[in-house]
């Protein structure tokens, strides 16, 4: 497989790469090798690659990254979480655009080229997300951008649904951090990922802040990656994933929901969570979930302090925020994608 050479002088015609692609690795193992092989085979070449080893106990990640000398390797001495390492990559990068790619996400050869082309068609849009397919299940969606329901429950649109090829380019609530592209200056101006989240829900939190700031996220369905999912954290039902996912959903709500929507969203949020948590497949995790809920409320004072700064940056109206959510309960229960036409002027 063709790979980018470290001595390729044609990579950055302007002397500065157009894109910075960051891969955050933690006990990623063989998926990291495949990820970087696919990244090295991209048709779009004007990018720099940064691999951040997040203090993986397994030395294999460093050894694998060393096989790709065109990628800059940063070795952290402590695990900063996806949030901390993701922010680190943005600070270290030089590209106008900041691209995040999970180490268990395998890009089609034209993935970057397609994202860059979309940015060229829509010069006022500064956040983009990809069509994600389940790596081990051909024809099954891993996601078409993230959706926020009026219950305050976010979900990945189309997750585990059959891909019927019907997705069109349009606005979604939030990019998915597994395969997204954002204006790096905008990312940094908004504060990047909230490092209190550590992992899980940080991309929805960022997407919510983009919504509040009046910045749309565009789904580019022809930009395709194949995603294993939760390869570094033991799976979607691991204790780590359940705890952080459950806690962080509350924090997304506390931090971002405008006050006029709070009296509606909070009761719906609690009602849906009780219903979901009492399902048979969640019962083994009930003690862990209750611990996560407790942690969410213990950490709430700090989140509400952060909220004040977030709301100061709000440019969108309450109606625009409510309109960016889905009010249809069937969307949430069926994890249906919600893609809206790009608003005029964007």
Assign residue 75 the CATH number of its domain: 3.90.550.10
Same structural domain, 55 and 190: yes
Q: Is residue 6 domain-resident?
A: no
Angle of helix 286-298 relative to helix 300-312, nearest 10 degrees?
60
Q: Is residue 78 domain-resident?
A: yes
Same structural domain, 196 and 243: no
Same structural domain, 85 and 209: yes
Average pLDDT over residues 1-9: 41
Same structural domain, 266 and 322: yes
Residue 284 has pLDDT above 50, yes or no: yes
Mean pLDDT score of the chain: 92
Q: Is residue 139 domain-resident?
A: no
Question: What number of residues does the chain have?
Answer: 346
Q: Is residue 179 domain-resident?
A: yes
**Tens of pLDDT, residues 175-230:** 999 999 999 999 999 999 999 999 999 999 999 999 999 999 999 999 999 999 76
Domain that holds residue 116: 19-130+173-213
Distance CA 97, CA 19 (A): 5
Angle of helix 202-212 relative to helix 239-256, nearest 10 degrees?
10
Same structural domain, 100 and 199: yes
Average pLDDT over residues 268-296: 86
Same structural domain, 282 and 187: no
Q: Is residue 307 domain-resident?
A: yes
Same structural domain, 283 and 178: no
Residue 7 has pLDDT above 50, yes or no: no
- 183 is written with which tokens? 């204006």
Strands 97-101 and 19-25: parallel
Same structural domain, 209 and 258: no
Question: Structural domain tally of the chain?
Answer: 2
Same structural domain, 199 and 247: no
Q: Which residue has the tokens 């994202």?
A: 115
Same structural domain, 195 and 263: no
Q: Is residue 125 domain-resident?
A: yes
Enter the pTM of the model.
Answer: 0.93
SS3 per residue for the chain:
CCCCCCCCCCCCCCCCCCEEEEEEECCCCHHHHHHHHHHHCCCCCCEEEEEEECCCCCCHHHHHHCCCCCEEEEECCCCCHHHHHHHHHHHHCCCCEEEEECCCEEECCCHHHHHHHHHHHCCCCCEEEEEEEECCCCCEEEEECEEEECCCCEEECCCCCECCCCCCCEEECECCCCEEEEEHHHHHHCCCCCCCCCCCCHHHHHHHHHHHCCCCEEEEEEEEEEECCCCCCCCCCCHHHHHHHHHHHHHHHHHHCCHHHHHHHHHHHHHHHHHHHCCHHHHHHHHHHHHHHHHHHHCHHHHHHHHHHHHHCCCCCHHHHHHHCECCHHHHHHCCCCCECCCCCC
Q: Is residue 8 domain-resident?
A: no
**Tens of pLDDT, residues 111-157:** 999 999 999 999 999 999 999 999 999 999 999 999 999 999 999 99
pLDDT at 279: 78
Same structural domain, 197 and 97: yes
Q: What percent of the chain has pLDDT over 90?
A: 82
pLDDT at 235: 53
Same structural domain, 194 and 315: no
**Residues forming a β-bridge with 23:** 51
Distance CA 252, CA 248 (A): 6
Average pLDDT over residues 283-306: 92
Residue 11 has pLDDT above 70, yes or no: no
Q: Is residue 219 domain-resident?
A: no
pLDDT at 305: 94
More confidently predicted of 83 and 12: 83
């Amino acid at each position: 497989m063709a790979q980018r050479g470290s001595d390729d002088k044609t990579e950055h015609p302007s002397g500065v790469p157009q894109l910075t692609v960051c891969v955050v690795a933690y006990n990623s193992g063989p998926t990291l090798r495949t990820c970087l092989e696919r990244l090295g085979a991209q048709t779009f070449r004007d990018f720099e690659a940064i691999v951040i080893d997040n203090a993986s106990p397994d030395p294999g990640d460093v050894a694998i990254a060393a096989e790709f000398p065109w990628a800059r390797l940063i070795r952290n001495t402590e695990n900063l979480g996806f949030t901390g390492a993701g922010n680190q990559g943005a600070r270290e990068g030089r590209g106008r655009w900041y691209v995040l790619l999970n180490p268990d996400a395998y890009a089609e050869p034209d993935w970057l080229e397609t994202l860059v082309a979309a940015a060229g068609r829509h010069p006022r849009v500064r956040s983009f997300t990809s069509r994600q397919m389940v790596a081990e299940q051909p024809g099954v969606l891993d996601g078409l951008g993230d959706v926020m329901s009026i219950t305050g429950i976010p979900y990945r649109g189309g997750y585990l649904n059959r891909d019927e090829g019907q997705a069109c380019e349009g606005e979604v609530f939030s990019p998915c951090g597994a395969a997204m592209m954002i204006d790096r200056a905008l990312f940094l101006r908004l504060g990047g990922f909230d490092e209190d989240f550590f992992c899980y829900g940080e991309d929805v939190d960022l997407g919510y802040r983009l919504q509040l700031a009046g910045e749309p996220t565009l789904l580019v369905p022809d930009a395709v990656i194949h995603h294993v999912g939760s390869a570094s954290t033991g799976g979607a039902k691991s204790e780590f994933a359940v705890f952080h996912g459950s806690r962080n959903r509350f924090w997304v709500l506390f931090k971002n929901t405008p006050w006029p929507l709070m009296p509606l969203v909070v009761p719906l949020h609690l009602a849906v969570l009780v219903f979901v948590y009492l399902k048979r497949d969640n019962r083994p995790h009930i003690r862990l979930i209750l611990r996560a809920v407790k942690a969410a409320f213990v950490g709430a004072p700090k989140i509400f302090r952060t909220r004040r700064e977030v709301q100061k940056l709000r440019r969108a109206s309450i109606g625009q925020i409510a309109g960016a959510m889905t009010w249809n309960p069937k969307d949430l229960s069926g994890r249906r994608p919600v893609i809206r036409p790009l608003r005029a002027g964007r």
